[in-house]
Amino acid sequence: MAIKLLFVCLGNICRSPAAEGIMLDLIQKAGLSDHIHCDSAGTSNYHIGDPPDSRMVMTARQRDIHLQSLARQFHGSDFENFDLILAMDRENYQDILRLDTDGKYRDKVHLICDFCQSHAQKDVPDPYYGGRDGFELVLDLLTDACQGLLVHLKETYPDLGCS
């Protein structure tokens, strides 16, 4: 059994690839790489094929997190292909739900910050136009949220093979 996670932001070059990288690191450390798969996408088509923003790559690398995805746009087929779709903010969340015209996949779509264990914020702010502190904050929020998400997955899917 493999659980498939999709992290979604606007352009798929800062927040969602960071979430994907953090989650992949946590999954690998938990020995669950065969059981949980991750991808990321953007609601826009601004950066299709681009690597993650160099500032996010550098900030993540300082935490020993490696970002390697290439930007792609969210597609309607992602509703079928992923078990959980994790939006970085409420605007992304609404953009995703607008593509689910029948409401068939609503239960798959969540705000990533709903899984935070120590932060109260509901949105991961877009650091693109800000300074270094914005990238650090994004990584702090996403690390907290991904740790909570992993706990949730272990509780929800006890047959993942984790102890």
Please identify which of the residues 9, 14, 38, 146 carries the catalytic annotation: 9
Please identify which of the residues 15, 72, 78, 146 carries the catalytic annotation: 15
Please identify which of the residues 78, 89, 126, 144 carries the catalytic annotation: 126
Residues 6 or more apart whose CB falls under 8 angstroms from that of 113 comprise 119, 121, 122, 123, 124, 141, 145
CB 3 within 8 A of CB 36: yes
Collapse the DSSP code of 64 into the 3-class scheme (helix H, G, I; strand E, B; otherwise coil) and give the result. Answer: coil
Both tokens of residue 122? Answer: 């509901």
Q: Which helix (H) or strand (E) holds 55?
A: helix 54-61
> Phi/psi at 153 (nearest 5 deg)?
-65, -40
Respond yes or no: is residue 126 known to be catalytic: yes
- Per 3-state DSSP, the chain is made up of helix, strand and coil in percentages (nearest 5) of 45, 15, 40
> Phi/psi at 10 (nearest 5 deg)?
-75, -60
Residues 6 or more apart whose CB falls under 8 angstroms from that of 70 comprise 49, 50, 51
Active site residues: 9, 15, 126
